[in-house]
Amino acid sequence: MISRYSLSPMKEIWTQEAQYERWLEVELALIKTYEELGIAPQNSYKNAKKNSKIDVEEILKIESEVRHDVIAFIKSVTENMNDEARYFHMGLTSSDVIDTALSLAMKQSLELIIDKLNEFIKVLKILAKKYKNTITLGRTHGIHAEPTSFGLKWLSYLSEAERNRERLEKTLEDISQGKLSGAVGNYANIDPSVEKKVLEKLSLMPCKISTQIVPRDIHAEFLYNLSLLGAGIERIALEIRHLQRSEVQEAFEPFTKGQRGSSAMPHKKNPIISERLCGMARLLRSNADAAAENIALWHERDISHSSIERIIIPDSCLIAFYMLEKVTWMVEGIDVKEDQMIEQFKRSYNLVFSQRVMLTLVSKGFSREDAYKLTQKVALECWNSKKDFKEEIKKVNDDEHYFSKNEIEDIFNPTYFLKNISKIYERFNFEDEE
């Protein structure tokens, strides 16, 4: 991931040095276990830890010669060791170290993402409560539909964010596993009890079964659930992009002091963060697809997945973390124009009340078909001639006397559409924000 979108503390997890430190953590946990079991002499772990060193440049230099990253790592790290070096990597294959350490990195990353998601959820709850009774026009197919609560939008985003949290918490459990089962996963050169003790030291659990690698459907689930998180963020960003349009102007991204919108047009205030988030969501989805391609490998393993994972797993973690940081900042400072929302009723010529007119006619004895035809005839005339629907219904009513004066006012009262909003809100827990 380019540095522009790499934020701390996530980016520190995915440095080359941090990767080698995790590899060393796995190897040292193995030596400590061997010592505890009496396989390695006393002080082997202490000496191995003391005499180990991580020199990234040296490891890479050795790798350029031996063409194997783990062998280069072992040669460099154990260079200053004595007899304890015999127990370093004993009984393991490269993937035992790589995959177990990768699980540690994924676990650390997901913990950061979940923490950031919790911050985002708090902001969504605030907005849902704040705009619970704010009337806005709902839209379907991009066209004015019926009045609704602006808070319901945020409640919908909140619900999706909470589902994403549930999925990611489950994923955190699923990825918290490693393997030390040897070259083809049959424990020929290492006992399962050793694996269990080593992984306990790393706060991981053993894979129920592995080949030479941890099964890659686990990693695919991890990346797919990150892509779902991204899609949820994209849904919010896409909404803000529409609401910020010149023709709408109902809500705007924060526009900071000194910010410029265009190099050519000084009047511009563009939804740049929202657009960026929509683009990044595409990356998460494409990475998830690549992870699914990594599931089917030759026999006990090949390395067709390896080069891809070096990119897609770190990048997806960095992207998801960045997206959460930016979307939280964006919605926390969103500039909502409630007066503009009311203005939209004029632009819709009050046509958004057409169903209320139709259903009121049905309640007075009209068939649904006749009520629909009558209402649609007036509505389309208003749309084509830009006349106010309420005024035209009044004219029809003057001739036919379908409604009382109070009924017309009630039909065209937007607060009617909020009558059951509280019942929806009761499905959510806002106790923490009381």
Tell me the pLDDT tens digit for each residue of 230-282: 999 999 999 999 999 999 999 999 987 888 877 788 888 889 999 999 999 99
List, for residues 98-113, the tens digit of each pLDDT value. 999 999 999 999 999 9
Examine the pLDDT at 429 and tell me if it is beyond 90: no
Fold for the domain defined by 3-87: Fumarase C; Chain B, domain 1 (1.10.275)
Catalytic residue among 3, 8, 64, 141: 141
> Which whole number is the average pLDDT over 46-64?
97
Q: Identify which of 373, 397, 331 has the alpha carbon closest to the alpha carbon of residue 121.
A: 331
* Residue 286 to residue 280: CA distance in whole angstroms: 10
Residue 431: pLDDT band with limits 50, 70, 90: low
Residue among 91, 106, 96 nearest 212 (CA): 96
Which residue of the set 193, 262, 304, 404 is catalytic? Answer: 262
CA 220, CA 206: separation in Å to the nearest integer? 18
Quote the tokens at residue 22. Answer: 């995790």
- Fold for 105-188+206-255+268-343, please state it: Fumarase C; Chain A, domain 2 (1.20.200)
Rounded mean pLDDT, 82-93 = 96
Q: Is the pLDDT of residue 215 over 70?
A: yes
Query: Residue 275 and residue 296: Cα distance in Å, rounded?
Result: 35
Within 8 A by CB and 6+ apart from 134, the residues are 149, 150, 151, 336, 338, 341
Secondary structure of 161-228 as H, E, C letters: HHHHHHHHHHHHHHHCEECCCCCCCCCCCCCHHHHHHHHHHCCCEECCCCCCCCCCHHHHHHHHHHHH
pLDDT the model gives residue 263? 78
Please count the residues of the chain: 434
Asked whether 290 and 282 are in contact (CB, 8 A), the reply is: no
- What average pLDDT is seen over the chain? 95
The CATH class of the 351-411 domain is mainly alpha
- What's the longest Cα–Cα distance across the chain? 104
Tens digit of each residue's pLDDT (9 = 90 or more) over 144-165: 999 999 999 999 999 999 999 9
Going by the DSSP 8-state scheme, the letter that residue 3 receives in this structure is: G
Tens-digit pLDDT profile for residues 370-405: 999 999 999 999 999 999 999 999 999 988 889 998
> Are 348 and 145 within 8 A, CB to CB?
no
* 401 given a catalytic annotation: no
All CATH 1.10.40.30 domain ranges in the chain, comma separated: 351-411
Q: Give start-end residues of each CATH 1.10.275.10 domain in the chain.
A: 3-87
Indicate if the pLDDT at residue 138 is higher than 60. Answer: yes
Rounded Cα distance, 127 and 334, in Å: 10
Would you state the pLDDT for residue 432? Answer: 54
Please say if the pLDDT value at position 364 is more than 70: yes
Give residue 434's pLDDT band: very low, low, confident or very high (50, 70, 90): very low
125 vs 132: CA distance, rounded Å:
10
Identify the residue whose tokens are 């929302």.
Answer: 341
Q: What is the mean pLDDT of residues 105-126?
A: 98
CATH 1.20.200.10 range(s) for the chain read 105-188+206-255+268-343
* 149 dihedral zone (left: phi>0; alpha: psi -120 to 50; beta): beta
Q: Which residues pair with 144 in a beta bridge?
A: 139
pLDDT at 287 over 60: yes
% the chain with pLDDT above 70: 99
Tens digits of per-residue pLDDT, 307-347? 999 999 999 999 999 999 999 999 999 999 999 999 998 89
Alpha helices in 244-367 (DSSP H): 272-293, 306-332, 338-347, 354-363
Alpha-carbon distance 17 to 274, whole Å?
34
Mark whether 193 is an active-site residue.
no
Helix (H) or strand (E) holding 335: strand 335-336
Summarize the confidence of residues 128-157 as an average pLDDT: 96
